[in-house]
Amino acid sequence: MLLFINGSWVSENEAVIPFQDGGFLYGDSLFESIRVGAGRPFRIHKNLERLRQGLNVIRLELPWSSKELIEICNTFIAKNNLQDGLLRLIVTRGTITGSPWNFSGAPNVYLTGRSLPPLPELPVKLEFVQEKDYPIARFFPAIKSGNYLGNMLAKRDAEQNGSFEPIFVNRDGLITEGALRNIFFVRDGILLTPGLALGVLPGIMRDTVLEIASSEGIRIQEEAISSSALSTFSEAFISSTGIGILPAVWDGFRSTHKLTYHLRDLLEARLKTGK
């Protein structure tokens, strides 16, 4: 596979990251995961909007325009003949020279990608965990920075317990999000998901799911959801750029996931169009 590094195309075997890269040393970076469907980047404008927002937050200027970044992503897809997969666009503050806080030149920009892995057995199992047990507080929840230590620890613990995804519950007993995915529930035909005010990442796929549900006339509620309400739901699923929609269960909860599979079919059809 050919990768993009600061304007050059290099093979995976030749690709290197500077040891003094601020993203590597301090997590001083942003990233975006971009879905590829039918050989095209899916809703890439949404990813780039979030990236630009993040760049403003961390006070970093990128030498490429959004149009140029789209061209780079399309070139990556063509060079690697990627039909259905995932791109990862990474922007770091740059390479440190001299003092630990002096960065040389422009930011470092990396683009890598992969084909989609096989889906896990469905439905996937969730595990509800306490936020206080993991250092997941993010500097700015609406952006994707290179600081995911708490999330990865929670993900590893959940997998060791036989679960696919940990779902965080905050100190107020409210459900927020998964370590890597957004969470949705269904009750009385209403689609519910934790509101962004709770510090939830505004996932690209989350936004897409809400758009599809709205177009189907499904009532949507973005709100505070108590973990004590888990027994009241008839369905649950998680979403992300990499997995789309996956029906979910947890200990003591089972479902036919009728609405979930309907939304999943609609999403998969949309992904196949690349739009």
In words, the CATH class of domain 124-273 is alpha beta
- Residue 69: its pLDDT value, please? 98
Residue 100 has what pLDDT?
67
Domain ranges of the chain: 2-115, 124-273
Pairing of strands 124-130, 165-169: parallel
42 neighbors 271 (Cβ within 8 angstroms): yes
Strand partners, 224: none
Fold: same for 2-115 and 124-273: no
pTM confidence score? 0.94
Query: Which ranges of the chain have pLDDT less than 50?
Result: none
In eight-state DSSP terms, residue 173 is: S
Query: What is the strand order of the sheet 220-223 is part of?
Result: 220-223, 190-194, 182-187, 235-240, 244-249, 124-130, 165-169, 174-178, 225-226
Two tokens, residue 136: 């997941």
Coil, strand or helix at 260: helix
Residue 123: cis peptide before it, omega within 30 degrees of 0:
yes
Contact by Cβ (8 Å): 158, 150: no
Provide the CATH number for the domain formed by 2-115 in this structure: 3.30.470.10
DSSP per-residue codes, 129-162: EEGGGS----SSTTS-BS--HHHHHHHHHHHHTT
pLDDT at 136: 63
Distances (CA, A) of 198 to 76, 143, 172, 208, 271: 36, 14, 11, 19, 29
pLDDT, position 178:
96
